[in-house]
Amino acid sequence: MTPDETIAGGVEPLSGETVRHGTGVNSDRAFPTSRHPDNLDPFVLFERFYIDPDTGFPMHPHKGFEIVSYMIDGGMDHADSLGVEHTARRGEAMRITTGSGIRHSEFPADGAACNGLQLWVNLPREEKEADPDYVDASAAELPTEETAGAAVTTVVGDGSPIELYTPMEYLDVRVTDEWTWAVPEEWSGFLYGVEGNGTVRAADAGADTDRRREFAAGDVLPNADARDVTVESDGDGEGLRLVAVSGRPHGEPIRQQGPFVL
């Protein structure tokens, strides 16, 4: 299967790619990478970042998109040109609307390493010059639903205080048995493995693509055609933790130039 067929079919997990930023921060990037060279409308990029105590991101500019940061471990100090100063800790989220332009910095809190997930979401053309904005949410403000096979925390979506210009959903899912990800018709999205191991399969795919595929931490499953996907834990340890992100495409070109999305 070629990379293009993988993306179109949305059923073949891909491994992430290590990116070393100029400031010394390392990330495991889900896309765009050499194996998945394109964005996934409306999403510009997604990666898991690891910030050591002696590294971070000094004040730098952004414009033209929205950023969702979600902490996995440790704390991250945020400061920006709006005058906001905030520390996000495990299980907490921040959303920045860069819009017409904002500057911000990100450093590990308390002299200790931290890691988390960062998603860039394109702004529709008519909102590119929106006023920059910031909002955060504590872990207690993000609703969690327990099911027979998983615990699902909504980072963006119903019940969360985090909203974006783009209709979307961002779920943190801990699968202990089996869970089905249902993507709204005409939306696109992806799964990203955070911890543990398991399998994935497209619930409505044909005979060739319906077989289970291994899925583990650092893997990404692009889902450009809104297929339902069934996720199963391997049953060992704490199960499989992943994030499931989906949104309504803008149908507009994504033109990324470094920290700007034009």
For the entire predicted model, the pTM comes to 0.92
- The pLDDT assigned to 237 comes to 63
- The pLDDT assigned to 120 comes to 98
Tell me which residue of 128, 125, 162, 124 sits closest to 143, measured CA to CA. Answer: 162
250 is in which domain, residue-wise? 3-261
pLDDT of residue 19 exceeding 80, the answer is yes
Three-state DSSP at 139 gives: helix
Q: Band of the pLDDT at 2, cuts 50, 70, 90?
A: very low
Q: Which amino acid is at 120?
A: W
> How many CB atoms neighbour CB 95 within 10 A?
24
Q: How many domains are there within the chain?
A: 1
Helix then strand then coil, % of the chain, to nearest 5: 5, 50, 40
Residues of the chain with pLDDT > 70, as a percent, come to 92
How many angstroms separate the CA atoms of 88 and 134, rounded?
Answer: 13
Q: What's the average model confidence in pLDDT over 152-160?
A: 98
Q: Which residues make beta-bridge pairs with 261?
A: 256
Name the residue with higher pLDDT: 7 or 44.
Answer: 44
Q: What's the average model confidence in pLDDT over 202-230?
A: 79
Q: What is the pLDDT of residues 116-129, one digit of tens each?
A: 999 999 999 999 99
Residue 115 belongs to domain with CATH number: 2.60.120.10
